Structure 1
Amino acid sequence: MSEEFVTAEADPIERAAESALRPRSLDDFVGQQRVRDQLGLVLQAAMARGTSADHVLFAGPPGLGKTTLAMIVAQEMGMPLRLTSGPALQHAGDLAALLSDIR
């Protein structure tokens, strides 16, 4: 019988499969038509102005597509994405350090 261990680290194979399944554009994102329409307008306006998009906050329980939408916004704007989570920020300085590294 083989043993299998569960770890907190992402398996490279699982990460590649997850990445391949995520939509890469708003047109590929299924559901939440109103959110897609509004976000599309924000991105189109930013690109027309030649500036970054206005501030956008995605909030809600897990599994609604917040991370996927953030990745799509970064992709559409041609910018890198920095991800973090609340539990990863243990001190006020952690967030300041993360934000000061953004260009």
Structure 2
Amino acid sequence: MVKAHGQAAKRVKESGFDAIELHAAHFYLLNQFLSPYYNHRTDEYGGRLENHIRFLKECYFDLLEELVGNLNDVESTSLEGETIEATMTASGRSKAICD
């Protein structure tokens, strides 16, 4: 899945687009890895916040590797700040993810 994000970004560039968004909100796959509400994994992608962030970071850095010097280095990551689940506060968790 990680490589698929980078490969998709490469195809976007080859198609003539000059920007890409790595979407990690609105219950998309990346958001589900970030959410303790949905992510009950017990492997390296679950448990602590650092593990929840791992998939997003891997996708982001693979995307950068594929696009180095392309797309004017324009990336945007959408995080969902409006959904506040019982086990988290959106602002604090989103800040930690961005750090």
**TM-score, normalisation: structure 1:** 0.25
Larger % of strand: which?
A: 2
Q: Scaled by the length of structure 2, what TM-score is found?
A: 0.26
